């Protein structure tokens, strides 16, 4: 059991999402958040098989619900909901980028 402490960094959260053909694709969860004034929870994911040299990495957003160990994902279909999620995500990214910086 000596390898238990080898990897001190937090392991990425990986989820599997089936595509149109039912084949499961691997995604890394990069952020989870709730929108102020709402009970809805959202997650942002990126494909694990994306080319690391590709700077235009695709980020996907889903509304989700947890039911015990089960995770239910819902696509964001309305423009209004998408705008709220995008604004919250960008605000959180700005806060992360701004940590440790003084204006």
The pLDDT of 58-86, averaged and rounded, is 92
Higher-pLDDT residue of 65 and 98 is: 65
**The whole model's pTM is what?**
0.74
Asked whether residue 23 is domain-assigned, the answer is: yes
Q: Give the separation between CA 17 and CA 19, rounded to whole angstroms.
A: 6
In which domain, by residue range, is 87 found?
Answer: 13-97
Residue 72 lies in a domain: yes
pLDDT at 81 over 80: yes
Task: Report if residue 57 sits inside a domain.
Answer: yes
Phi, psi of 97, rounded to the nearest 5 degrees: -65, -30
> Quick check: is 103 in a domain?
no
Residue 74 CB contacts under 8 Å (≥ 6 apart), including other chains: 62, 63, 64, 65
Does residue 3 sit within a domain?
Answer: no
* Span 27-71, pLDDT tens digits: 999 999 998 778 899 999 999 976 555 556 789 999 999 888 889
The pair of structure tokens assigned to 80 is 């209004």
With respect to residue 8, please indicate whether it lies within any of the assigned structural domains: no
Return mean pLDDT, the chain: 82
Q: Based on the structure, what is the number of domains in the chain?
A: 1
């Amino acid at each position: 059991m000596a390898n238990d402490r080898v990897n001190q960094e937090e392991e990425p959260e990986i989820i599997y999402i089936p595509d149109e053909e039912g084949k499961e694709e691997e995604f890394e969860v990069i952020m989870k958040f709730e929108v102020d004034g709402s009970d809805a929870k959202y997650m942002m994911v990126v494909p694990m098989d994306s080319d690391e040299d590709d700077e235009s990495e695709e980020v996907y957003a889903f509304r989700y619900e947890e039911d015990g160990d089960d995770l239910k994902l819902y696509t964001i279909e309305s423009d209004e909901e998408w705008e709220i999620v995008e604004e919250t995500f960008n605000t959180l990214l700005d806060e992360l980028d701004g940590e440790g910086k003084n204006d």
